[in-house]
Amino acid sequence: MSERLWELLLQSFGQILIPGLTITIPLTVCSFTIGFMIALVAATVQVAGIKGLKELARLYVWVIRGTPLLVQLYVIFYGLPGFGIVWPAFPAAVVVFAVNTGAYASETLRAAIESVPKGQWEAGYCVGMDYWQILFRIILPQALKTAFPPLGNSLIGLVKDTSLAATITVTEMFMAAQRIAARTYEPFALYCETALIYLIFCTILTRLQRHLEKKLRME
């Protein structure tokens, strides 16, 4: 590698990292938090078997899981303006990522809830609890321990998926790298550097996930 390329990589590292810290990470946190709440509602509605809402939740999961994330971004950001609905880029990305995450995470939570032994429900009824008290006080705490590893994987996957937000003009890490590459004509080195930063973020989350899993197992 030439001296010029080393200097370029050193200079660009901060220019790519800063959007990662100020855009990519907040986008991931906001999207996952909202997506988890959506997933919790969709999962509990399905488990409870509430007519109408159960079918609506299943329809939501079917549509979102059956269509590409990139298409969903384009529909919201580029398609809705045709109907007079205009979203700023960042909120549009948050909505799409949250809705997408919610669909996948709801199936994780639903499966985890259904894996809890039926005897836990019966024990709750025996002490005078109603359905929702049993669900939130007994079943969900156990189900969340089961669901934690796949939910952690979803969060790590979301960090990488946020690179798609560049396609709707969100100035996150990947778009920052694209702009530098267009100016310097060094796409290979810059995209490898960007991949390294994503790898650092995901490695930190992976280590945090493993630490929390150990704590949950000890409880």
Q: With 90 as the cut, is the pLDDT of residue 76 above it?
A: yes
For the chain, which residues make up each domain, given as ranges? 3-218
Give the Cα separation of 208 and 204 in Å (integer): 6
Is it the case that residue 219 has pLDDT exceeding 80?
A: no
Task: Provide the pLDDT for residue 4.
Answer: 85
Q: For 25-62, what is each residue's pLDDT tens digit? A: 999 999 999 999 999 999 999 998 888 999 999 999 99
* Percent of the residues in the chain that have a pLDDT greater than 70, as a whole number: 99
pTM tops 0.85, yes or no: yes
Evaluate whether 101 touches 151 at the Cβ level (below 8 Å).
no
Domain spanning 3-218: CATH 1.10.3720.10:
yes
Q: What is the pLDDT of residue 1?
A: 62
What's the confidence (pLDDT) of residue 51? 87
The average pLDDT across 160-184 equals 94
Output the pLDDT for position 170.
95
